[in-house]
């Protein structure tokens, strides 16, 4: 059940990020080609964010703590790996910066 709660909070967080991304991109990049259309923007994405946050808030505090730890670990791995493997980082090391 603990694993299920962690999966739930991760999935709900992903829904929040995607719904916010839809609203933000519609305002900042209206010219971008869209593979699909979301009806009633921004009403549906905002409703999705609110519903997902409500479900997340109803999860136990332990789940939030585990989620925060996993997110922190994920960010550390992402930035450490990215720093040593990015094309930009390799260009700066060799002095071939743009």
Secondary structure of 57-68 in HEC code, one letter for each residue: HCCCHHHHHHHH
Residue 95 has pLDDT above 70, yes or no: no
What's the structural domain count of the chain?
2
Residue 9 has pLDDT above 70, yes or no: yes
The gap from C-alpha 26 to its chain's centroid, in whole angstroms, comes to: 17
Q: Which domain holds residue 89?
A: 61-98
| Phi, psi (deg, nearest 5) at residue 35 | -75, -25
- Say yes or no: 73 and 97 in one domain: yes
- Say yes or no: 12 and 33 in one domain: yes
Mean pLDDT for the chain? 90
- Which tens digits make up the pLDDT trace of 23-50? 999 999 999 998 888 889 899 999 999 9
- Spatial separation of the C-alpha atoms in residues 72 and 75, rounded to whole Å: 5
Q: Is the peptide bond before 42 cis (omega within 30 degrees of 0)?
A: yes
- Say yes or no: 46 and 67 in one domain: no
- Say yes or no: 7 and 27 in one domain: yes
- Say yes or no: 51 and 86 in one domain: no
């Amino acid at each position: 059940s603990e694993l299920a709660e962690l999966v739930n909070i991760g999935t709900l967080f992903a829904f929040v990020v995607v719904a916010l991304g839809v609203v933000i991109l519609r305002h900042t990049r209206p010219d971008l080609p869209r593979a699909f259309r979301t009806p009633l923007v921004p009403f549906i994405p905002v409703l999705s964010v609110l519903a997902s946050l409500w479900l997340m808030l109803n999860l136990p505090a332990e789940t939030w703590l585990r989620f925060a730890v996993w997110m922190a670990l994920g960010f550390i791995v992402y930035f450490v790996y990215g720093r040593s493997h990015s094309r930009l980082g390799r260009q700066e090391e060799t002095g071939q910066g743009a």
